[in-house]
Amino acid sequence: CRGQLVGTLRVGMVPLAGFEPIPLLQAFAAEHADVRFELKSLSSEQILAGLDTNRLDVGFAYADARHERKYQLFEVAETTMGLLFNRHRWRFGRPALDWMDLESLPLGILSKGMHFRQSVDHALQSAGVALKPLVETDSVEFLVQSVSAGLCCAVMPLGSGLEHRDDALELLPIADSHTLAPLCLATRRGDPVSALAEAFQQFVRERVSPDQG
């Protein structure tokens, strides 16, 4: 049915990941001119719940083997982390940091409940670093604005491109940093599964290398 798909593909996306899904949507739209997209920024838990209740067709969410009984999962990236900061306020003088380097910094972070926040909390606790964030927000945009202004630094995904939003921003890798689960394209295993969801899942599988992340 290539070129014959019609309708709206409802897509859930986590707000922070080291993978940009928009080029995939753009390429899919180029092949299927009658397809439209409804995009929602949600937590991984909200995305999976949206699949359960048929409010979403597909989702880019952090998921692992525990979720495979209910969802078809295709890993698109392993997300690693870095420190986003304003280079006019901070200089570190080396190409990579470790978690202990963050202990004395004013940090901004996403609100609790997001998988990326849980991964950061876990990494900091494992390194023995006490987290006392200066800024907590449920908005990635507010977080980036706070970093741009020099109010705080923030742990962000490598490969997210957030450092390109402002010439003053820099993103340094943090050693031994990754999310607790990989980023996956998720669809329901059981009915109903739309033709759009099946076509998009196959489209992504053909274009994304499993070891891309």
The string of pLDDT tens digits covering residues 44-102 is 999 999 999 999 999 999 998 888 889 999 999 889 999 999 999 999 988 999 999 99
Specify the residue for token string 């995305």. Answer: 47
172 has a pLDDT exceeding 80: yes
Whether pTM > 0.95 for this model: the answer is no
Instruction: Identify the pLDDT of residue 1.
Output: 43
In order, the DSSP letters of 24-92 are HHHHHHHH-TTEEEEEEE--HHHHHHHHHTTS-SEEEEE--GGGTTTEEEEEEE--EEEEEEETTT---
Cis peptide before 192 (omega within 30 of 0): yes
Q: Using alpha carbons, list the distances in angstroms from residue 155 to 23, 53, 180.
A: 24, 32, 15
d(CA 130, CA 123): 11
Q: Using alpha carbons, list the distances in angstroms from residue 12 to 38, 40, 122, 161, 186.
A: 8, 5, 25, 20, 9
Over the Cα atoms of the chain, what is R_g? Answer: 18
Structure tokens at 8: 């709206």
Sequence-ordered list of residues with C-beta below 8 angstroms from that of 1, at least 6 positions apart, any chain? 195, 199
| pLDDT band, residue 211 (cuts 50/70/90) | low
Our CA dihedral for 64, 69, 75, 77, rounded to 10 degrees, sits at: -30
213 has a pLDDT exceeding 60: no
Instruction: Identify the pLDDT of residue 56.
Output: 96
- pLDDT averaged over the chain? 90
Decide: helix, strand or coil at residue 195.
Answer: helix
**Over residues 125-133, mean pLDDT:** 89
